[in-house]
Amino acid sequence: MNSVRLVEVGARDGLQNEARSLSVDTRIALVERLADAGLRTIEAGAFVSPRWVPQMADSAAVLRGLGERHGVTYTALVPNLQGLDMALAAGCREVAVFAAASEAFSQKNINCSIAQSLKRFEPVLAKALEAGVAVRGYVSCVLGCPFSGAVPVPQVVAVTQALYAMGCYEVSLGDTIGTGTPGATTRLIQACADAVPLSALAGHFHDTYGMAVANVQAAWQAGVRVFDSSVSGLGGCPYSPGATGNVATEELVYLFEGQGIATGVDLAKLLEVAVFIDNRLQRTGESRVAKALRARPQ
């Protein structure tokens, strides 16, 4: 049977865009329940300034509270060397760095150019790899920017190639504002695969225009076997006006398992996690799959 790897980003990329900040205990409970449902790569936090992203405060306490679980990798986002040092002190064994394919977005998001951001990551990658910590890369705005519109494919390829060359074992291509379409997704994957191994590419899609699942399917057909997703579709982007949440993990489990492609995730347990976190956040927005499955006659 074919298989796909889902990278659960709800506890980081999801929660960071929710208005309500959750306690350390609740965040730990969320990650543990996701692992119980079968997710094996889970973003647990981010070592960023709590002034700018208060939802990610105390990420060190979350990582320490999780401990180790066989076969499960807990990751954290780090923007610089200071963030990496905090992640290492918390026992993190995998971190992620993020760059943008859009100059305008890079300036709005991290107050520097793309070139400056990549230069900033060089010592981060060097220190992490020396410590035996794996590094994953994110590229945002690969299919459009909220500030400058269309993003040239060669620009996406250049940033992807730079992150891979630095030592990122995998680069996740992010449709941050959810404007991508299947055709554009296919062309982007093909172009990036000419510069880095296809096996090193992952997809990260938002559902602003209802295209996320279709884009995931297009990326799968183009050869991508790793996708980021967020339980209950949590998240968005605080620097991308109007962007809705990440594609829901339960939607991708339903998509792939329905095609005989193994995810390793128990959908029933995952839906319970969605209810748990929605209740804690006082959200009312279930994913379409969750609503449909709950409406089925028993």
> Which residues are tagged catalytic?
237
Query: Which string of DSSP letters, residue by residue, matches the chain?
Result: --B-EEEE-IIIIIGGGSSS---HHHHHHHHHHHHHTT--EEEEEE-S-TTT-GGGTTHHHHHHHH---TT-EEEEE-SSHHHHHHHHHTT-SEEEEEEES-HHHHHHHHSS-HHHHHHHHHHHHHHHHHTT-EEEEEEE-TT-BTTTB---HHHHHHHHHHHHHHT-SEEEEEETTS---HHHHHHHHHHHHTTS-GGGEEEEEB-TTS-HHHHHHHHHHTT--EEEEBGGG----TTSTT--PBPBHHHHHHHHHTTT-B----HHHHHHHHHHHHHHHT-----HHHHHHHHS--
Can you say whether residue 183 is alpha, beta or left, with left for phi > 0 and alpha for psi between -120 and 50 degrees?
alpha
